[in-house]
Amino acid sequence: MIVCVGNTKGGVGKTTLALNLAIARALQGREVMLIDGDRQETAQTAIDIRAAAGKTPSIACAVYSEGRTLITQVGLMRSKFDDIIIDSGGRDSAALRAAMGMSDVVVVPFAPRSLDVWALAQLDSLVEEVKGAHPNMRVIAVLNSADPQGHDNEDAAAAVADYPNMQYVATPIRRRKAIANAAGQGMSILEYTPKDAKGIEEMNALANAVFGSN
């Protein structure tokens, strides 16, 4: 499968989710390529840290932040890997449009904050454009850095109904120190110790929503 983790807004946790999804699939024995489509190259840095620590399974990673290059390279790689996860930059760019257009699933992380919810309107318009050429593309919105309690999560989730080109999945990823600590070591919360059972449950639920039985 090809999965794009993308949003036109920055700071919503795209790289962290892309890293976790890539490692989740690798832990299942699949050959995974993580593509860093962001010029900040944060995903590549995380994988470099992982490799330097000798952590297994190893994850292949490359930086392609230009749309045309991304299309070419994914075309070359898609027969060599079971899954390709693309971490897209936080803006409307040729790379984001290219990544979405090649993907089976687009994962849209957003926080339960007004600015994040408002930004979904721009992304919904972009999805509508891309879907014209790729009608089978599935777009799912997931709450990231969700609040431990309160009504903001529910209000933000309900707001997704205003954007018909994406589907909300009830697999929120709550703010957890273990997720941030794991990412800083090039790891997923699924393999981090000490174990965070609830965090692991949430990440597995998201992976299941993205990949299903594939």
Is 178's pLDDT higher than 90?
yes
Six-digit token pair at 36? 């860093």
Question: Is 163 strand, coil or helix?
Answer: coil
* The pLDDT of residue 94: 87
pLDDT of 132 reads 87
Specify the pLDDT at position 214.
77
How much is the pLDDT for 90? 72
Instruction: Average the pLDDT over 149-165 and give the result.
Output: 93
Domain containing residue 134: CATH number: 3.40.50.300
Say if residue 213's pLDDT is above 80: no
Q: What is the mean pLDDT of residues 101-112?
A: 96
Residue 120: other Cβ atoms inside 10 A: 23
Predicted local confidence at residue 93, as pLDDT: 86
- Own/partner pairs for 175-181, CB < 8 Å, 24+ apart? 175/145, 175/146, 175/147, 175/148, 179/16, 179/20, 179/203, 180/16
Please give the tally of structural domains in the chain.
Answer: 1
Range of the domain at 179: 2-211
Res 182: pLDDT: 98
- Rounded Cα gap, residues 83 and 1, in angstroms: 5
The least confident of 58-62, 128-132, 143-147 is: 128-132
The pTM for the full model equals 0.95
